[in-house]
Structure 1
């Protein structure tokens, strides 16, 4: 039975005796070379026309025995040649040292990982071929990095779904999120809990398309110059239930236990109240007013008047329930909707009260038809706007899905890229594992970025995280994770290689060298845990695992534009008076008007 292709022999290590033997052979060979070149050139220069032996060994032995004379010109020649050889050796050693200095300790493993045709599906040629087939111009795909073995650029195509797991400070933003945003050919959706990704890319993206920054918690210090009504997403009871699910998931602590009765009942009550407010075109903040008044039957009347009889009966059943049961359900719903009490958040999701200041309303359906960029920011903890970020993200993705259904081939003509950075903290989309593989066929490419496997388990459970991991066509591990079980599973996926080792033993003056074939992990748990910054492991469907060099935005041709964007939005810098802070959103509004016309 032949060995699997991921098992390759490692050259055997050299013993001390073999090292000394080869060193002696090399020195003798160099001496022979220098003497022969010096004597033969010296003879030509001196013009002595001595008959020299053709065999280099005979020439050396002839010099020793006195049968061959030493030309006078050979002395300076051999000195010059020795100096040239010495200088060349020094330069070579320094060059090798420089190359090794730029390499990583895990780079030796690249020899046993995927390379060449084994990662052809990730090659630029394959990505260009896919982009041409899909009619996508301007970008072959999502750049992953350059292979350590072969130094080839690797891409994810516009049909591939991506998941990144990398620990803190491992270069997720600089090497993965920012380059992907800059290269995107159409609309881009970004979630994050930091402002760095916004500052670095917003001005570059705004040069050709509208930019929207949803910043209800003032992470980037953005003013609410536009607004979005979450209830515009609620068109029926099904979408009301989905919106309620986002509120429930976004306010629940990671890993927290849920009550089997009160949590589902509170979520159902919140869904009914959201539907009632949407039907009567009320601001979403009215929902929180209702959850603080358990006896208010206004939402019941609204639901009945619009024909949602069963939903009205459901809400009415809670209102007429025993006091303690009703209080528990309303209290649970109240906790889920707690973010609506934040006045700063309310400015982003309610109509403007000052009619003298125009604030456009964000439309997901119009956004996905543009080449704009939407940044949704929030941070975890008390008062989080995470439920609204999730709701906005889902609204945009579902609008893109509806547009894809109406487009030729059932997919977007220009793919939309979604960067779900810090997804487990700011975008707890419960249905994401079930929908992940589906969106790839719709031209909606999602890149979910997590800090660890357990982060995903806290949000989607162990089975859900496994489903999400399996649904991703491209999986990238960038180091910085210390979870032994996850790293052990990853190490097994990478595979083994056969190592040929040798040992030397001496008995009664006789030396015996024996060789053994040992199977070892290509990258063990310790190697993966200590993955250096600038390296990442890529596992893609149909390809062998491969090691890459990540490419930070600083190495890109447009790095100066990124630096200028960062400097322009640096909180420490003085605002430029000639450019208002709302310029990007005003531009977005103007372009939205153009799209509408």
Structure 2
């Protein structure tokens, strides 16, 4: 059913509205006269045998059988004024409610509500958290149901997948509120600075350290700390995983992997990573090896440390047929190309290659997952992207949390770790994520993967992988802005149909007949979902029917003032003014101004 059809069905025609207005005015007049005569007669001590029937009293006044008391006049005036004030208040409330409603809100009546969503309610979230031993967190806030005004939460064991088109409010209504609610360590990825600016001071005030990994200077962060990716490589298996992150993160979304050279290049890169790790060399040495075919130094290092099979595999490429070898080396060099960028290297290697002389703190994922710290990993797609390192850092941190969970009661983290993978298809192309998604929920590792479209996920994980990721999520949220009819049609089918009751009356030859019909109608169709207004989202939760929610942006949270202060404090134009030592008034940059001004605009939309 289209939005326009639903709106017409829920509306009232002009005759019905006029009838309601007339009946209301008649009721007000009848009540006002009754109150004036009854109270006035009591005050003036007239009409001792006054009837209690409002109609009899009203017509008695008109006929003169009931005396009009002197004080009845001011009582009547006061009653009419009070009725007018109440009428205006009701009209204003109705007008505001109508502005808050959207064209799709009528569908909420036929979607999940009330008991259907018990597991996601405040009561259900508390019960789940208590069962899991989590005492100070209900879970990730989702929104408020349009039907029933019920707050919904994802529990500490639920995994999330969000698909929101550009400029639909995914950061303000999902990413930022989730980060603000987290009780323990948080990791998040993005290709913009908005989430970092909005939450960093709030998270720091909660007792955690801020780690902003910004090799491409998206937020103008300086490398005041560093992370050694080779600290993740403890054996040949971890080396292969790290090489896979480099391979997936460096591949363009529309490119196809070569069956031979991509696999051979990835295996060669894994051997180089392992050799550099066991030898204590900086990771930038790996890129140097990919540019020098025939260098047997990695082979010798691997043999010296007992990795004979890996040494044989690398040796087969080092001394292979020259043309084939050069192609394999070229593929490996492309995968590790981010390591040649000097600005990126400062974040993943000790200063001047001297570990002992580098006083900067080194990020340790195992220490991080035991803290209340926050890790922000920023990168953007294109040439010189740091995406492979963002993916590797994210995977290393999550795996450290998994290792910690195995040592805790029930095999899960006592304080859940939250991971908000915003722009995951662009900056965190974690190839193995769909296979691990459902597993992490049982470990107390709550992940929220945010995409701009279904096609983005297909580019990274393939059609089957994206379906696996979608199905493994306990909470799937569609926030609008997607123009993919095939995907929207599947969502429409998941929402389901409802029974539409119609009544028709026919009159002919003096006979009147009435017939009742029931037909199945789609609750929301593709057009509804494609035009889903800002401030609305459809939630698909395990074990519950789809429901329509009103999103709740951070501007309506108790921490709104703290978020605004954090945004203002880290405004890039303010930093520029301070760096230049100019004592001039500073105005927010365009991106920050958009966040600061979003509150009234968002609330008006809602």
TM-score (norm 1): 0.88
Q: Is the CA contact 2:10–2:106 (under 8 Å) kept in the aligned structure 1?
A: no
Count the aligned residue pairs.
567
Please give the alpha-carbon distance, in whole angstroms, between the structure 1 residues aligned to 2:46 and 2:180.
Answer: 72
Q: How far 1:377 sits from its partner (Å)?
A: 0.8
Identify which of 68, 73, 76 aligns with 1:71: 68
Please give the alpha-carbon distance, in whole angstroms, between the structure 1 residues aligned to 2:74 and 2:129.
Answer: 64
- Aligned equivalent of 2:569: 568
- Aligned equivalent of 1:6: none
- Counterpart secondary structure, 1:572: helix
Identify which of 119, 122, 145 aligns with 2:120: 122
1:362 and 2:363 aligned: yes
Please give the alpha-carbon distance, in whole angstroms, between the structure 2 residues aligned to 1:54 and 1:221.
Answer: 79
Mapping of residues 371-410 of structure 1, within 5 Å = 371-410=372-411
Please give the alpha-carbon distance, in whole angstroms, between the structure 2 residues aligned to 1:160 and 1:187.
Answer: 17
User: What's the CA shift string for 1:235-263, capped at 9, x where partnerless?
Assistant: 11111111111111111111311211111
TM-score (norm 2): 0.87
Q: Is the CA contact 1:12–1:502 (under 8 Å) kept in the aligned structure 2?
A: no
- Aligned equivalent of 2:182: 184
Cα gap change, 1:561 to 1:88, in 2 (>3 Å)? closer
Please give the alpha-carbon distance, in whole angstroms, between the structure 1 residues aligned to 2:406 and 2:48.
Answer: 90
Mapping of residues 53-92 of structure 1, within 5 Å = 56-57=54-55, 66=63, 68=65, 71=68, 73=70, 81-92=79-90
- Aligned equivalent of 1:450: 451
In terms of mean alpha carbon deviation, does 385-394 or 495-504 score higher? 495-504
- Aligned equivalent of 1:111: 109
Kindly indicate whether structure 1 or structure 2 has the higher relative contact order, using CA contacts under 8 Å at least 6 residues apart: 1
Q: Is the CA contact 2:209–2:373 (under 8 Å) kept in the aligned structure 1?
A: yes
Please give the alpha-carbon distance, in whole angstroms, between the structure 2 residues aligned to 1:95 and 1:51.
Answer: 42
- Counterpart secondary structure, 2:446: strand
- Aligned equivalent of 2:162: 164
In terms of mean alpha carbon deviation, does 252-261 or 420-429 score higher? 252-261
- Aligned equivalent of 1:204: 202
Cα gap change, 1:155 to 1:310, in 2 (>3 Å)? same
Please give the alpha-carbon distance, in whole angstroms, between the structure 1 residues aligned to 2:557 and 2:13.
Answer: 45
Q: Is the CA contact 1:200–1:562 (under 8 Å) kept in the aligned structure 2?
A: yes
User: What's the CA shift string for 1:132-151, capped at 9, x where partnerless?
Assistant: 23332332211112222232
- Counterpart secondary structure, 1:316: helix
In terms of mean alpha carbon deviation, does 86-95 or 483-492 score higher? 86-95
Q: Is the CA contact 1:15–1:504 (under 8 Å) kept in the aligned structure 2?
A: no
Please give the alpha-carbon distance, in whole angstroms, between the structure 2 residues aligned to 1:445 and 1:220.
Answer: 26
Please give the alpha-carbon distance, in whole angstroms, between the structure 2 residues aligned to 1:552 and 1:544.
Answer: 24
- Aligned equivalent of 1:583: none
Please give the alpha-carbon distance, in whole angstroms, between the structure 1 residues aligned to 2:260 and 2:357.
Answer: 47
Cα gap change, 1:28 to 1:268, in 2 (>3 Å)? same
- Aligned equivalent of 1:586: none
User: What's the CA shift string for 1:385-424, capped at 9, x where partnerless?
Assistant: 0000001111111111111112222111211111111111
Please give the alpha-carbon distance, in whole angstroms, between the structure 2 residues aligned to 1:554 and 1:194.
Answer: 19
Name structure 1 gaps, 5 residues minimum. Answer: 1-9, 578-597
Cα gap change, 1:128 to 1:35, in 2 (>3 Å)? closer
Please give the alpha-carbon distance, in whole angstroms, between the structure 1 residues aligned to 2:104 and 2:442.
Answer: 35
In terms of mean alpha carbon deviation, does 237-246 or 459-468 score higher? 237-246
Cα gap change, 1:294 to 1:554, in 2 (>3 Å)? same
- Counterpart secondary structure, 2:380: coil
- Counterpart secondary structure, 2:298: helix
- Aligned equivalent of 1:542: 543
1:296 and 2:318 aligned: no
Cα gap change, 1:22 to 1:576, in 2 (>3 Å)? closer
Q: Is the CA contact 1:537–1:546 (under 8 Å) kept in the aligned structure 2?
A: yes
Cα gap change, 1:356 to 1:433, in 2 (>3 Å)? closer
Q: How far 1:366 sits from its partner (Å)?
A: 1.5
Cα gap change, 1:457 to 1:404, in 2 (>3 Å)? same
Q: How far 1:441 sits from its partner (Å)?
A: 0.8
- Counterpart secondary structure, 2:501: strand
Cα gap change, 1:125 to 1:19, in 2 (>3 Å)? closer
Cα gap change, 1:468 to 1:50, in 2 (>3 Å)? same
- Counterpart secondary structure, 1:209: coil
Name structure 2 gaps, 5 residues minimum. Answer: 1-7, 580-606
- Aligned equivalent of 1:259: 258
User: What's the CA shift string for 1:98-123, capped at 9, x where partnerless?
Assistant: 22223333222222222221111011
Cα gap change, 1:366 to 1:506, in 2 (>3 Å)? same
Q: How far 1:81 sits from its partner (Å)?
A: 4.3
- Counterpart secondary structure, 2:162: strand
Q: Is the CA contact 1:415–1:443 (under 8 Å) kept in the aligned structure 2?
A: yes
Mapping of residues 473-552 of structure 1, within 5 Å = 473-503=474-504, 514-552=515-553
- Aligned equivalent of 1:329: 328
- Aligned equivalent of 1:230: 229
Q: Is the CA contact 1:137–1:185 (under 8 Å) kept in the aligned structure 2?
A: no
Cα gap change, 1:549 to 1:313, in 2 (>3 Å)? same
Please give the alpha-carbon distance, in whole angstroms, between the structure 2 residues aligned to 1:325 and 1:502.
Answer: 76
Q: How far 1:224 sits from its partner (Å)?
A: 0.9
Q: Is the CA contact 1:13–1:502 (under 8 Å) kept in the aligned structure 2?
A: no
Q: How far 1:483 sits from its partner (Å)?
A: 1.3
Q: Is the CA contact 2:416–2:444 (under 8 Å) kept in the aligned structure 1?
A: yes
